Structure 1
Amino acid sequence: MSAGVLEHALLPVRPGEEDAFEAAFARARPLIAAAPGFRSLRLSRCLERGNVYLLLVEWDSLEDHTEGFRGSPAYQQWRALLHAFYDPFPTVEHFTEVLTASPER
């Protein structure tokens, strides 16, 4: 299987709305997980700034995200669940793998 595409977004959530955001994200997760070309998702919370989250999503291709998911009815539901939490609205960027490392044993 090819390396695919890694979507990266820092999600600045309005302070005080973190619990509601996490609950909404849990409801939104199946929407993206069912999208063609979706491989995996990781949502992490920043230790230094507790209202900032890092979203990493692996896709088979850039188009699976930008055209497939974003052009789907599921994305409209995703947007309705999550976009009101962001201030400011996040920048989403896409990456391809260049180099990896793991512990030597």
Structure 2
Amino acid sequence: MILETALLAVKPGEAPAFERAMAEAQPLIAATPGFLGLELRPCFTAPDRYLLLVRWERLEDHTEGFRGSDRYARWKALLHHFYDPLPVVEHYGEPVVSTPAPSV
């Protein structure tokens, strides 16, 4: 499994519109073969900042499958105008250290 991460800096005051646009854009990425899930998390300490986490079966499912699709152009049109600056997207592998939550 590949974990795609992006720290999204949304233009001030645009957070509600951005969240609506992300909800509209989500089916575009979800339709990609190899897509395993998406989370968008708001930052508690920095308003208008979000962490995007996307899980993929393989790196190429994102870099070639989604980004090479017609759906990606629509994704960009819906979302990229909200960012300042454009985010850095990174891809991570399986954990090398992991600690499960204690059992209750």
TM-score bin (small chain) = over 0.9
Of 79, 99, 102, 1:101 maps to 99
Normalising by structure 1, we get a TM-score of 0.94
Which amino acid in the other structure matches residue 25 of structure 1?
M
Select which of 32, 37, 45 maps to 1:35.
32
2:8 aligned partner: 11
| TM-score normalised according to structure 2 size | 0.95
Secondary structure of the 2:81 match is: helix
Partner of 2:72: 75
Aligned twin of 1:87: 84
- 4+ residue stretches of structure 1 with deviation over 2 A? none
Identity over aligned residues, as a percent? 58
Which amino acid in structure 2 is aligned with residue 37 of structure 1?
Answer: G
Aligned length: 102
Q: Give unpaired runs (5+ residues) of structure 2.
A: none
- How big is the shift at 1:77? 0.6
